[in-house]
Amino acid sequence: MAEAPWWSRSVKTLTDAYLEGRTTPVEVVDTLLSAARTCQSGLNAFAQLALPGSRAAAEAATRRFANGKPLGPLDGVPISVKDLVPVQGVPTRRGSHITPNTPAEQDAPAVARLRQAGAIVFGVTTTSELGCSMQASNPLNGTTLHPLNPKHTPGGSSSGAAAHVAAGLGPLALASDVGGSLRVPAAYCGLVGFKGTYGAIPTVTKSVFTDYIHYGPLARSMDDCRRLQAMLAHPDPRDPSSLWARPRPILQLAERQVKIGWTTQLGPQVALDPEVDAAFLQSVQLLAAQLPTGWTLEEVDLTDVDLAEPLWTDWTARMAEAFLDAPDSLMEQLGADLQLQLKQGRLLTARGLAHAKAQIRQQRIRLIEHFSPFDLLLTPSSPHLAPPAGQWIPPGHPLTQQMEETGNWFLPNPYTYPFNLTQQPALTLPIGKSETGLPMGLQIVGQRYQDELVLAAGTCVEHSLTPP
């Protein structure tokens, strides 16, 4: 059997090969770009490839390894950036015709960190328009397809990031998550995806959704995920929310007791696929049999946490705010998804919005109270398998008509968006595949600022669920 290409291997394998002279960053980036171009017509994962400076960065990394002086664990490693995150010299189009086709003047803080670490930013990945839906398509770039089965979607809004990493086209992607935008595609594509506590990775965004936005890594393993998160989770004075983030020592789980809750019931309308249910419960049972001394695992019912409707009202109100002074000619260029959201936001009354905000506060407190006895919570990452290509509503969902009429993408994904509202760290990792070969995921949520506990638990889960 032919060996896998270097660009499809783990970060450690890749950097070890650089140190041993078996390959170079230049060779890896050149062959990766060639493969990505070849796969682009079948995946449509990239909005742009071969970014300015990527070849020069690979050459500089090659010289450092030749001299035995790499910058660190990500030096020479190729990584993509989602087309919502500014990359200097590259237009940040956000999958929309309304954005200017002019290069960004400076890198986002996270991209600057990547460059400082020697990572090679080789491509910008596709997203739903402005990152505002679960669609894996946008008016500017078209539809992104699932790498394991092109008849299905990789999910959104981090569609291209999930598609290329799952296809093996590089080990890492920097993505974003406003309600599951990173974790749902990770679950659909069998990846590891992590959003830390709000502010863990600085964002410096002016978006009306800024208090929901989390940046995070997409990877094929916990080790790769942790390497990228550790490098990016540093404070930046331009984002005051990031100032709590300091490098912390790796947590040794054996040194403490951990109380874990688990549930398949988060909200009143889960519509859980039987295969996902069975895979999740089997994973919980496997974990229960391997828990360290002093750890506990307990089922918890979160059926009474009902946020989808009031949060959607708040979401559409923010859409109206985002386009408050925009001319009609500009808004006419938006895709159908955003047009629908904007229409609903403009029809809201002050009383209706105030009522929704009051419900959100009440439900947020209820969720935190349910969570408070636990260190960690386990849920499925998504209640269903990847929907058909170009769609975001799972076939046969009982709320299909309502979702089609409103576009409310919170409804089919109840496990992810609540933890953007509470700003807690949440990780998803794969737990197997369905009979049709589509991946399924398990989510681990922690208390705020307990990011290392979540990541350490993810590594433990990964080892427990991986066959010997």
What is the pLDDT, as a whole number, of residue 57? 98
Looking at the predicted structure, is the pLDDT value of residue 255 above 70? no
Looking at the predicted structure, is the pLDDT value of residue 205 above 90? no
Tell me the domain boundaries of the chain: 6-244, 253-465
What is the pLDDT, as a whole number, of residue 257? 86
Cβ within 8 Å of residue 347, ≥6 positions away = none
What is the pLDDT, as a whole number, of residue 251? 59
pLDDT band at 293 (very low <50, low <70, confident <90, very high): confident
Cα(328)–Cα(323) distance, rounded to whole angstroms? Answer: 10
CATH of domain 253-465: 3.90.1300.10
Q: How many residues does the chain have?
A: 468
Tell me the percentage of the chain whose pLDDT exceeds 90.
90
> What mean pLDDT, rounded, does the chain reach?
95
- pLDDT tens per residue across span 210-228: 999 999 999 999 999 999 9
Tokens of residue 312, six digits = 């959607």
Structural domain 6-244, CATH architecture: Alpha-Beta Complex (3.90)
Tell me the percentage of the chain whose pLDDT exceeds 70.
97
Instruction: Say what the pTM is.
Output: 0.97
Question: In CATH terms, are 6-244 and 253-465 the same topology?
Answer: yes
Cα(414)–Cα(433) distance, rounded to whole angstroms? Answer: 21
Top pLDDT among 67 and 254 is at 67
State the average pLDDT over residues 453-466: 92
- pLDDT tens per residue across span 341-385: 999 999 999 999 999 999 999 999 999 999 999 999 999 999 999
**Residues of 330-364 as b/e, b for ≥16 C-beta within 10 angstroms?**
eeeebbebbebbbebbeebeeeebeebeebbeebb
Looking at the predicted structure, is the pLDDT value of residue 386 above 70? yes
Looking at the predicted structure, is the pLDDT value of residue 269 above 80? yes
Cα(161)–Cα(169) distance, rounded to whole angstroms? Answer: 10
344 close to 311: Cβ distance less than 8 angstroms: no
The burial of 119, by beta-carbon neighbours within 10 Å (0-12 exposed, 13-18 middle, 19 or more buried), is given as buried
pLDDT band at 196 (very low <50, low <70, confident <90, very high): very high
pLDDT band at 29 (very low <50, low <70, confident <90, very high): very high
- pLDDT tens per residue across span 400-445: 999 999 999 999 999 999 999 999 999 999 999 999 999 999 999 9
pLDDT band at 265 (very low <50, low <70, confident <90, very high): very high
What is the pLDDT, as a whole number, of residue 249? 59
Cross-strand bridge partners of residue 171: none
